[in-house]
Structure 1
């Protein structure tokens, strides 16, 4: 049976100019022939786990996966029980609410040392804006400033950041625009470091779930957190935002999104990187926000996530000799597969990065788009 699977997959790969045992960056080297059966029976989960186990390599994993994605090889290898099980779980249960802090504990709390070495000085863990930038630092500052301009920040405004990470946006906004701010996160490590880094700035980060928020904020942002909300909770999420905004307030949602409506995340990423994560579709977002907020602007710059992820990967690789005592070899292969596979997905335009600006009742005179 293994030989049959090997012959089938080798032939499918050859059709898209990927050679098993070849020497080009996108060719694959197989170290264990059990890989073929694992992929046929476990789909993307099996492919990712086999890489973690050292069963295969490629000189450029991102290029190998990009060729697979752009040639839609998944239509030829259709068995993916792990995705089916995740979908059933997503329909029957609401793991994003029953395990609110799981992603914080399993992903964001794994070590501030890792993230400090991988990210820019503001420790922004979301897509950068590369239109006029050539370095990660410049691209992340351009993204932060883009957000500030899109929501019309002015000195003295009170800003809420839902899912504020290590506090980079609020630090930037307080330094450059003179605002005060509150950030919330479900990660203890993020909260601790964010509060250590704020200095004398009038900002604060709390360990808190978004449904526990109250009060009113002139501006609200959510940068890279909506992917953890879950489709069953989009309606309550937007209702909470509406409750926190004044009539003349603005809310900016910065989120990865997919073209198709789904009820679960990608199996390998869900298991190893982002527990209970899932990407919203335009239909799901629009349906959930209807009757709650007014959409003023929708900006897609998902192609910019490719260079962002590759920059993170380069920094991770450079830092690995200093990090390896705290993390094992399987973690190294898992983390680089995460960064490179996600770069391939964005490069193939399978997923997107949206910045959507909402008002509570519609801005008088209209909203002027900022790019």
Structure 2
């Protein structure tokens, strides 16, 4: 047996200034590091070449998606142990310590470390990125065309794959948990919470922006008697949602369109739900998004904006989109602090009446989705690809930990297009909703 694992551990310790907190198994089957910890498996020397050509999170992501890197043991524990060394962002700079670490290998003070890594990496030509990596069209961000392409990358990977991950509810956003709840009951509770905040009653008209597989539209029409227009940019989602609507006998009350929210021209609506969609809008377009939704509401109409938020940085100019998320999960997606979201909704004319954090609820939801994926792993791989399944497992597990540790959050913002009379239509005790 060789000694690649020992050498890798030594090189990592030189660069980090501290031992790696996990055990390593290298391609030559050698192992090194603290016993009883999760095993970081470097299956191929190609993983090192990926890191040398793309230092930081993108190189790590490519190695993970390609199967050059893996974890044996508890994935959550491994991610928690490695977070401070490889992925966690500094609050002041937004720069990952992984990028700083691997860039340091080019520093003259660590030349021996870098040379050692080069020798271990083997033949030098860089490997091609995994085929699961997104390559959006050029041009400005968040045009209708580019957004449609980004949405297709994430959602058009097969509806059966999402059935395995999300379960029968087919709701791809944070559930609303009670102590003894199941995923299905928690997702139904979330949909009903949104409907109650929007005061949906028979005869009213709802626009569901980013309607996904139609779950919110179906719930609102079936349980609250409203008419719904649901819009999505995903062709596969629309086909699936229309089938569900037809099977439920609700075609007279629910219309599903493949349409950008900027192209909706048949307002006004009594209410708008935007659940897990605003993360795709982008900072440069968010003011436009808020103005468009404001214009589509009748006076007195309500918006429920359910959106993931990041922690604010001391210098917002340092914010950078996570390379793994950008290339493999949500191309062109951006997160903003909740304060900025509230401010931009108010600048568009809305009166913000309630903000509810569901941070812990999303962590619970993601852990259930990971468990679903792992329980259907072979089928998920067959339906998509080994790389795609690995993307979703890492993404959802890492996000669960980020919600648990308060690195990111999720909030429901209830806003009203308050008429000039000032009558918002909300109860004195807001959490009664109606």
Tell me which interval the TM-score lies in, with the shorter structure as reference length: 0.7 to 0.9
1:44 aligns with 57
Cα distance change on mapping 1:80 and 1:11 into 2, 3 Å = closer
TM-score, with structure 2 as normaliser: 0.75
Q: Report if the CA contact (8 A) 2:212-2:237 is conserved.
A: yes
How much has 1:51 moved relative to structure 2?
1.8
Q: Report if the CA contact (8 A) 1:296-1:367 is conserved.
A: no
Partner-residue secondary structure (3-state), 1:134: coil
**2:174 matched to 1:127?**
yes
Cα distance change on mapping 1:323 and 1:194 into 2, 3 Å = same
Q: CA RMSD in A?
A: 2.9
Cα distance change on mapping 1:351 and 1:238 into 2, 3 Å = same
**Aligned partners of 1:25 and 1:331: how far apart in 2?**
26
* Greater radius of gyration (CA): 2
Cα distance change on mapping 1:36 and 1:300 into 2, 3 Å = farther
Of 294, 299, 308 in structure 2, the residue corresponding to residue 256 of structure 1 is 308
Partner-residue secondary structure (3-state), 2:321: coil
**Aligned partners of 1:11 and 1:31: how far apart in 2?**
25
Of 199, 203, 225 in structure 2, the residue corresponding to residue 178 of structure 1 is 225
**Aligned partners of 2:188 and 2:432: how far apart in 1?**
15
**2:278 matched to 1:278?**
no
Cα distance change on mapping 1:220 and 1:367 into 2, 3 Å = farther
**Aligned partners of 1:367 and 1:80: how far apart in 2?**
52
After TM superposition, the structure 1 = structure 2 runs for residues 1-371 of structure 1, keeping only pairs within 5 Å, are 5-8=11-14, 12=18, 14=20, 17-20=21-24, 21-24=33-36, 26=38, 28-32=40-44, 35=47, 42-52=55-65, 53-69=67-83, 74=89, 76-79=97-100, 94-97=140-143, 99-199=146-246, 200-201=249-250, 202-214=253-265, 215-260=267-312, 261=316, 264-291=320-347, 292-361=349-418, 363-364=424-425, 366=428, 368-369=430-431
Q: Report if the CA contact (8 A) 2:213-2:240 is conserved.
A: yes
Q: Report if the CA contact (8 A) 1:94-1:232 is conserved.
A: no
Instruction: Write the deviation string for residues 157-182 of structure 1: whole angstroms up to 9, x where unpaired.
Output: 11110000001011111111111100
**Aligned partners of 1:324 and 1:153: how far apart in 2?**
40
Deviates more, 1:297-306 or 1:93-102: 93-102
**Aligned partners of 1:154 and 1:343: how far apart in 2?**
35
Q: Report if the CA contact (8 A) 2:57-2:99 is conserved.
A: no
How much has 1:33 moved relative to structure 2?
6.1
Larger RCO (alpha carbons 8 Å, 6+ apart):
1
**Aligned partners of 1:9 and 1:61: how far apart in 2?**
24
Cα distance change on mapping 1:73 and 1:231 into 2, 3 Å = closer
How much has 1:288 moved relative to structure 2?
2.0
Partner-residue secondary structure (3-state), 2:78: helix
Partner-residue secondary structure (3-state), 1:246: strand
Instruction: Write the deviation string for residues 112-135 of structure 1: whole angstroms up to 9, x where unpaired.
Output: 110112113231001111134431
Count of matched residue pairs: 360
How much has 1:35 moved relative to structure 2?
5.0
Q: Report if the CA contact (8 A) 1:5-1:36 is conserved.
A: no
Gaps of 5+ in 2: 1-6, 25-32, 91-96, 104-137
**Aligned partners of 1:320 and 1:229: how far apart in 2?**
31
Instruction: Write the deviation string for residues 2-29 of structure 1: whole angstroms up to 9, x where unpaired.
Output: 7774233675454xx5444445464534
Instruction: Write the deviation string for residues 170-211 of structure 1: whole angstroms up to 9, x where unpaired.
Output: 111111111110000000000111011012211111000111
**Aligned partners of 1:196 and 1:345: how far apart in 2?**
35
Gaps of 5+ in 1: 83-91
Cα distance change on mapping 1:218 and 1:73 into 2, 3 Å = closer
TM-score, with structure 1 as normaliser: 0.87
Cα distance change on mapping 1:329 and 1:120 into 2, 3 Å = closer
